[in-house]
Structure 1
């Protein structure tokens, strides 16, 4: 869970975000279900087998961010890809990804994530790949939290 909250910390001012991320790294990691957390930004998270998925959406920008944290360092490659297997299979890719300073997190930012959200909501497995490295997670229980994430809105004046 701490890796998920570290992603939210990146949206805070740099000092506060770094302090919060450092504190959260001390919390033991454990598996969790797909979870939607409303707020600014809205947050969709999942951890499984040491892999953490965190999606944020800031409707004020609008900007979607997905960060996938792996227990080992990612090796940089020209393209990042995601494949969703199940009843509505889809594969997507981009060359607009970033690896963080630790080498464990890869992040993609974009103003539209329709294919990613469809993949998460309507399939059974998600696989993220960077070069020869791939990590897969189950999408069991993801449909309802993804639907809530899609409906994310911030009240006027918030």
Structure 2
């Protein structure tokens, strides 16, 4: 007499049915920092594509948040709220829309507060008076540190 041991709480036929659903529920693209030719930090969620850059030739930091569904509505200000152990809210009237209003852009000579918010919190909420995008920060900290190192190396 043989004994079958199942390591999964689901019998084999049930596991076969769960595999396609597990693939559909794959996590968002991880945060990724790159350093050539300019410093870049990117992340993809179900709602949006986030891209930060540092161009040493200008020198200028940029943030672009591209919504995947509805375009951004023109508003007089843009803000980000960072939720977690080091909560912070920053805002600016100096933003612009591009790509038929799908992308909200911000540029500045310094992004210390943005980088701190991304590195030391759990969630970012990018918002205007008309709409918002939630950005999970799981895995962001080490990639933000790489982005900071790239920017610092460009300055020296």
- Normalised TM-score (structure 1): 0.76
The root-mean-square deviation of aligned C-alpha atoms, in Å, is 1.6
The change in CA–CA distance for 1:87 and 1:60 in structure 2 (over 3 A counts) is: same
In 2, Cα distance between the equivalents of 1:155 and 1:62?
Answer: 9
Q: What's the CA shift string for 1:78-137, capped at 9, x where partnerless? A: 000001000000000000000004110000000000000000000000110022200001
Residue 90 in 1 paired to residue 110 in 2? Answer: no
Structure 2 equivalent of residue 121 of structure 1: 119
In 2, Cα distance between the equivalents of 1:151 and 1:122?
Answer: 16
Structure 1 runs of 4+ aligned residues shifted over 4 Å read none
The answer to whether the 8 Å contact 1:40/1:154 transfers is no
Structure 2 equivalent of residue 49 of structure 1: 46
The answer to whether the 8 Å contact 2:44/2:50 transfers is yes
The answer to whether the 8 Å contact 2:50/2:64 transfers is yes
Structure 2 equivalent of residue 5 of structure 1: none
Gapped regions of structure 1 (runs ≥ 5): 1-29
Structure 2 equivalent of residue 37 of structure 1: 34
The answer to whether the 8 Å contact 2:56/2:155 transfers is no
Residue 148 in 1 paired to residue 151 in 2? Answer: no
Give the secondary structure class of the aligned counterpart of 2:139: coil
Structure 2 equivalent of residue 110 of structure 1: 108
The answer to whether the 8 Å contact 1:34/1:45 transfers is yes
In 1, Cα distance between the equivalents of 2:139 and 2:75?
Answer: 31
Structure 1 equivalent of residue 56 of structure 2: 59
In 1, Cα distance between the equivalents of 2:109 and 2:154?
Answer: 16
**1:155, distance to aligned residue in structure 2 (A):** 9.4
